[in-house]
């Protein structure tokens, strides 16, 4: 049954731009659709947040904020975010559409992979995570479901930390059991997550690729949690005898329970993986897992590869390609993607007695029977090889690896890089893993390290001019603070932090201190008329603003009751002083205290807001009764004024 017919979005034009063609995955937070960007005429994936979550303002705010951050992470091995928007009650992301399958699909179909294939997948994953780590992002949910393998063999990482407000860890479904299998001990115990939790998860994924199973299992999340916290990940060779010890060491390093012992980020782990690959022989890299020998999923003799042509009809996304969810049909991975063989995924190699031509015929026939429409581009007969792993190694090491592969080092150019250390290779042309004729040359781009810029001398410049000059130099204006200065005109730059001449990485923010001019002491104008107060303040170079509300005060009506800032304050020339006009004293009814004791009378009058004075004659020196008061009880007098009581 085609469930897309029941989805109200299918067939609609979302946000006046995106034509929703099919629903391809459903998860706990969003539904993913295949859509056409009618403005740019390209197929993409739309991730639409579920309405219940879209009603949560804080959740949507975080969704948008993190989407903007991830959109800045441009890397060939990261699923790109193109656009984000809202349309009515829908909140969505427009993302790169990847036709292919997930690593989970591959593991489910094939089980354990050969070390070469496992490393061919791990290395681009680490390259993507390395770029993210150096840009300040942590994925936090690395697992085979988030590793996509396109029809063209490209490996991409999906779901970079988007919408983490929904906590799936406390759930007890089978899907959660899959997620908790990759959580680092510190995530479980303390809830902390830095780059090393991604390193740990990649170590678990590598173990699973090499053995076909997770290192820790259980009937509940709690059992898996306990093993993460109290048991080391066993060496893969314990499950698959014959695996090289370098692979055991790589898994052990990445999955150390103490995060301080792990490689600090994915860049460091990528370096370890490349070093391990370099130490392995061809036989060790192509070691066939035991279950592959039993099922026939292995390559025995040669390196024959079949690469499919693009399909004429867009294929459904694999499950979990953009977010965990249930499949909408029962199409097999082979029907979705055809046979692919890139980065270590080749069809079954010839067994004894089977010719290369027979292998090609069988593969082609299977593809045609399934109606995939794929064709063979080229059969490797020894004239071609692949560009070896030369990224993140020194120029000399890269040239050695090219020579070992029978290739020449071509042109070497240099470029700045924030993620690759100085002297190491940033990229190659053709790219790593690309097919290339024997003895051809490979051009290398070598890192000069991060681009640095000298902070210009901005003292005396207007703020707008300073910002423009920083931008021209490849820097950014940071926090602007203002201070009084007798030497620098108001609005001009006093200094920068760091100071002029200091070298900083391109794009760094520079703090600017701007002059408020010479300080002006604010005079006390309370009790003066508004006209006199205004004249005095303006003569001092200040501006005057009259507050809309008036207040009762000790001053007569129409005089200045309050000022802000007050007497003795310092203000910049041209600053505004706010004056509040008096409505006159507040009139309060005077209590009748005649006949009361002196203490009771004083208390009543003070409680009413008056000052109290006693009038004692010689004859009443020791008297304690009030026989009269200066303002009769029941009359009104200004609050704060003095009431005299006569004692008898």
pLDDT in tens, 23-32: 887 776 788 8
Structure tokens at 87: 């349309």
* Max CA pair span of the chain: 140
For the entire predicted model, the pTM comes to 0.47
Instruction: Give the Å distances, CA to CA, from 426 to 23, 74, 210, 432.
Output: 38, 15, 28, 11
Q: What's the rounded Cα separation, in Å, for the pair 525 and 580?
A: 11
* CA-wise closest residue to 73 among 162, 154, 11, 205: 162
Q: How far is CA 227 from CA 174, 220, 222, 234, in A?
A: 17, 11, 9, 11
2 is a catalytic site residue: no
CA distance 163 to 53: 10
87 contacts: CB under 8 Å, gap ≥ 6: 14, 15, 16
Distance between CA 397 and CA 277 in Å, rounded? 13
CA angle (169, 75, 470) in 5-degree steps? 110
The parts of the chain modelled with pLDDT lower than 70 are: 1-5, 28, 161-178, 290-384, 618-621
User: At 546, phi and psi to the nearest 5?
Assistant: -95, 125
Nearby residues of 113 by Cβ (< 8 Å), 6 or more positions away: 106, 107, 121, 209, 210, 212, 289, 344
Q: Look at residue 627 and give its three-state secondary structure.
A: strand
Rounded Cα distance, 236 and 251, in Å: 8
Q: Could you tell me the strand order of the sheet in which 493-497 lies?
A: 476-483, 509-515, 493-497
Answer whether 545's CB lies under 8 Å from 491's CB: no
Do strands 155-157 and 476-483 pair parallel, antiparallel, or not at all (unpaired)?
unpaired
642 three-state secondary structure: strand
Could you tell me which residues are beta bridge partners of residue 101?
149
Does domain 587-647 match CATH 1.10.443.10? no
Q: What is the pLDDT of residue 178?
A: 40
| pLDDT in the model for residue 17 | 93
| Domain 452-515: CATH class, spelled out | alpha beta
pLDDT at residue 267, as a whole number: 93
Cα 191 from Cα 453, distance rounded (Å): 38
CATH of 519-581, one of 1.20.120.1760, 3.30.70.20, 3.30.10.20, 3.40.50.1100: 3.30.10.20
User: What CA–CA distance (Å, rounded) separates 138 from 523?
Assistant: 56
Check: CB of residue 126 under 8 Å from CB of residue 270. Answer: yes
What 3-state class would DSSP assign to 433?
coil
**CATH code of the region 389-447:** 3.30.10.20
Q: Do domains 3-369 and 389-447 have the same CATH topology?
A: no
The domain spans of the chain are 3-369, 389-447, 452-515, 519-581, 587-647
CA distance 201 to 104: 14
Give the count of alpha carbons within 13 A of 641, CB side only. Answer: 16
Alpha helices in 423-550 (DSSP H): 463-472, 530-539
Which entry of 141, 159, 248, 265 is annotated as an active-site residue?
A: 141
Give the whole-angstrom CA distance, residue 451 versus residue 213.
44
* Structural domain 3-369, CATH architecture: Orthogonal Bundle (1.10)
pLDDT at position 144, please? 92
Could you read off the pLDDT of 345-369 as tens digits, one per residue? 333 333 333 343 333 433 333 333 3
């Amino acid at each position: 049954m085609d469930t897309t017919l029941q989805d109200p979005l299918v067939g609609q034009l979302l946000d006046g731009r995106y034509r929703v063609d099919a629903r391809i995955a459903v998860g706990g937070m969003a539904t993913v659709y295949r859509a056409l960007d009618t403005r740019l005429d390209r197929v993409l994936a739309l991730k639409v947040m579920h309405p219940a979550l879209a009603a949560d303002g804080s959740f949507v705010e975080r969704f948008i904020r993190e989407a903007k951050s991830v959109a800045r992470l441009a890397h060939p091995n990261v699923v790109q975010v193109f656009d984000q928007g809202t349309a009515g009650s829908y909140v969505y992301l427009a993302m790169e559409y990847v036709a292919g399958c997930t690593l989970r699909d591959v593991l489910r179909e094939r089980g354990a992979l050969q070390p070469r294939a496992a490393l061919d997948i791990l290395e681009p994953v680490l390259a993507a995570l390395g770029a993210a780590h150096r840009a300040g992002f942590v994925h936090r949910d690395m697992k085979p479901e988030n590793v996509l393998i396109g029809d063209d063999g490209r490996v991409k990482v999906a779901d970079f930390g988007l919408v983490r407000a929904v906590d799936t860890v406390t759930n007890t479904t089978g899907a959660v059991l899959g997620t908790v299998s990759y959580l680092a001990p510190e995530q479980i115990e303390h809830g902390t997550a830095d780059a090393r939790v991604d390193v740990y998860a990649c170590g678990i994924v590598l173990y699973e690729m090499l053995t076909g199973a997770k290192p820790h299992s259980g009937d509940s999340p709690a059992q898996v949690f306990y093993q993460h916290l109290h048991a080391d990940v066993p060496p893969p060779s314990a499950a698959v005898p014959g695996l090289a010890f370098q692979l055991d060491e790589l898994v052990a390093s990445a999955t150390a329970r103490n995060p301080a012992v792990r490689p600090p980020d994915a860049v460091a782990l990528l370096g370890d993986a490349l070093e391990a690959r370099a130490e392995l022989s061809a036989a060790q890299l192509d070691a066939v897992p035991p279950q592959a020998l039993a099922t026939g999923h292995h390559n025995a003799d040669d390196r024959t590869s079949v690469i499919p042509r693009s399909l004429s009809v867009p294929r459904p996304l694999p499950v979990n390609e953009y977010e965990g969810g249930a499949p909408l049909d029962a199409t097999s991975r082979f029907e979705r993607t055809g046979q692919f063989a890139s980065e270590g995924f080749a069809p079954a190699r010839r067994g004894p007695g089977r010719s290369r031509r027979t292998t090609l015929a069988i593969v082609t026939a299977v593809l045609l029977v399934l109606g995939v429409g794929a064709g063979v581009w080229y059969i490797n007969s020894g004239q071609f090889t692949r560009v070896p792993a030369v990224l993140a190694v020194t120029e000399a090491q890269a040239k050695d690896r090219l020579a070992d592969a029978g290739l020449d080092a071509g042109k070497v150019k240099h470029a700045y890089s924030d993620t690759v250390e100085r002297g190491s290779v940033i990229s190659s042309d053709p790219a790593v893993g690309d097919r290339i004729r024997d003895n051809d040359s490979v051009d290398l781009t070598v890192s000069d390290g991060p681009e640095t810029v000298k902070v210009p001398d901005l003292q005396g410049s207007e703020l707008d001019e300073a910002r423009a000059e920083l931008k021209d130099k490849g820097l950014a204006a940071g926090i602007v603070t203002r201070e009084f200065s007798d030497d620098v005109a108001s609005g001009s730059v006093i200094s920068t932090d760091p100071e002029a001449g200091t070298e900083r990485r391109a794009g760094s923010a520079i703090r600017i201190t701007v002059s408020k001019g010479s300080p002006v002491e604010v005079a006390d104008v309370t009790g003066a008329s508004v006209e006199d107060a205004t004249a005095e303040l303006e003569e001092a170079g200040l501006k005057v603003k009259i507050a809309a509300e008036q207040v009762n005060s000790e001053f007569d009506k129409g005089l200045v009751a309050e000022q802000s800032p007050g007497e003795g304050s310092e203000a910049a020339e041209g600053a505004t002083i706010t004056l509040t006009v008096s409505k006159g004293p507040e009139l309060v009814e005077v209590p009748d205290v005649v006949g009361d004791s002196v203490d009771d009378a004083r208390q009543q009058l003070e409680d009413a807001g008056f000052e109290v004075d006693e009038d004692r004659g010689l004859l009443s020196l020791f008297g304690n009764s009030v026989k009269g008061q200066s303002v009769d009880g029941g009359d009104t007098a200004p609050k704060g004024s003095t009431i005299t009581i006569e004692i008898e």
